[in-house]
Amino acid sequence: MAAFIKLYNDNPNPKEIEKIVACLKKGGVIIYPTDTVYGLGCDITNVKALERIAKIKNVKLAKANFSFVCKDLSNLSDYVRQIDNRTFKLLKRTLPGPYTYILPGSNNLPTVFKKKKTVGIRIPENSISNAIVEALGNPIVSSSIHDEDEVIEYTTDPELILEKWDHLVDIVIDGGYGGNIPSTIIDLTDEDPVIVREGRGEIDIF
């Protein structure tokens, strides 16, 4: 059974954050709130945990399009090839925020993602996810939690998430009702930004 931990976005309890980070470091898989929908996450450096998430999502790990959730732009140079000033200014202007940016991956990507040429970067405007990543000391891999109901698409109630995912994950974090609109995905690997998915983030700023 998954642990159910209540956290408040305006002031996440440091002791509970420590418990979550300890779980992640041991290869645990968590469900946590972001500034958009609830996400399924694990430590980016733990291969067994990455394999668990790939199995849950029914995808091959090497080909999985997971996002890397970072605490700020300082993590970028670890996973992304050098970007130009224009791209950096765009990231700085819109992050933290409800965007996933596809960027050219560097040679420092975790071994399981070495063959990937691009990486999706997220910096949510959410104190809970930021506190987890900061305490962990490196990004977490993330994938959205989908609902079986095609109309709803994303489950927003943490208690319902616990019911459905209880046997698959180690911790479900209750950060209040989540959103049901995902992040806007923007591909920055070409000269001009390409909107891959229109979500919560506004696109008229591009």
Sign of the Cα pseudo-torsion (204, 123, 148, 162, in order): negative
Q: What's the pLDDT at 203?
A: 82
> For 23-81, what is each residue's pLDDT tens digit?
999 999 999 999 999 999 999 999 999 999 999 999 988 888 899 999 999 878 888 98
- The pLDDT of 7-29, averaged and rounded, is 97
> For 123-157, what is each residue's pLDDT tens digit?
999 999 999 999 999 999 999 987 665 556 677 89
Please, which pLDDT band fits residue 82 given cuts at 50, 70 and 90?
confident
pTM score, whole prediction: 0.93
Q: What's the pLDDT at 148?
A: 64
> For 43-58, what is each residue's pLDDT tens digit?
999 999 999 999 999 9
Q: Catalogue all structural domains in the chain, each as residue range(s) with its CATH number.
A: 3-197 (3.90.870.10)
Sign of the Cα pseudo-torsion (99, 117, 21, 131, in order): negative
Amino acid at position 27, single letter: G
- For residues 24 and 49, the answer to whether their CB atoms sit within 8 Å is yes
Backbone angles phi, psi at 89, to 5 degrees: -65, -40
